[in-house]
Amino acid sequence: MPVNHYFQSGNGIGNTAEKRLHEDLIVEGLKIYGKDVYYLPRTLVNRDLILGEDMSSKFDDSYLIEMYMETTEGFAGDQELINKFGLEIREDTTFMVSKRRWQDQVDSSHTMIVEGRPNEGDIIYMPLMNSFFEIQFVEDQEPFFQLGQLPVYKLRCTRWEYSSEQLNTGVTDIDSAEDQYSLDQLAHQVTLEDGTGALQLENESVGDETNYMLLESYAIQTQSPYADNIDLDTEAGFDTASTADDILDFTERNPFGDVDGGLV
């Protein structure tokens, strides 16, 4: 016989009960040595069907689960770098999670982009460090077939660079990051002279007043007596009342503005 069937059932080392026991020990070890983290599945808002990416992701769900951080002596990666954009910090780490625990706690067709495994682009929030980590790669074959099975996922992660994603998980510590780091668009909106934040198109009236976002008939001469814009436009032939093209002609007959090179 090629294998000893007292130790191997013909389908890898150990029977089903032994494999279950081995997996239980791994789960217990992760509960002892690991830390509670939140797993945040990514939700695509407007996926680019050509490039296959989405720059406007959101995170609406969070799942509390234990994970073990393998880099116990410090972060891996290139650490602090000085480049042309200034100081860049690249801190990488690896989280280990039980496959069975992840499937029981997190895996769902309603929340996962790809069901059945952790997804690259998902976020791990670690309360102990108050830090977010983005999954870059999911290693599912390490350690390699212990007792003929693959009991854990190893999640290769890096520090998450927040870029105005929506965080609506219901966990205060997580959702507060959106308020802290996102850009307040209302603070940068163009306001009218009366201080309101609404912009009206030309000829659109509000009450007895007309507010303009772009007024084509605006002339700087009404603001400065030293401005010569109207005179220059007249000489250039841009004045609708003038047919002279003494300087430049940018009409559809001569898009390049050469007076002598107009199209016939």
Task: Give the model confidence (pLDDT) of 35-62 as tens digits.
Answer: 999 999 998 887 777 777 777 788 999 9
Least confident of 16-25, 217-226, 241-250: 241-250
Q: What number of other Cβ atoms are within 10 A of residue 119's Cβ?
A: 15
Pairing state between β 63-69 and 86-98:
antiparallel
Domain extents in the chain: 16-183
pTM comes to 0.63
Task: Give the model confidence (pLDDT) of 76-131 as tens digits.
Answer: 766 666 776 666 777 889 999 999 999 999 988 777 888 888 999 899 999 988 89
Task: With a cut of 50, say whether residue 200 has pLDDT above it.
Answer: no
DSSP 3-state assignment of 261? helix
Burial 17-36 (b: 16+ CB within 10 A, else e): eebeebbeebbeebeeebee
What is the rounded CA–CA span in Å between residue 114 and residue 44? Answer: 12
Task: Give the model confidence (pLDDT) of 127-143 as tens digits.
Answer: 988 899 999 999 988 88
The Cα-based distances of 242 to 50, 233, 252 in angstroms read 50, 9, 16
DSSP 3-state assignment of 27? helix
Sign of CA dihedral 252, 258, 263, 264: positive
Task: With a cut of 70, say whether residue 74 has pLDDT above it.
Answer: yes
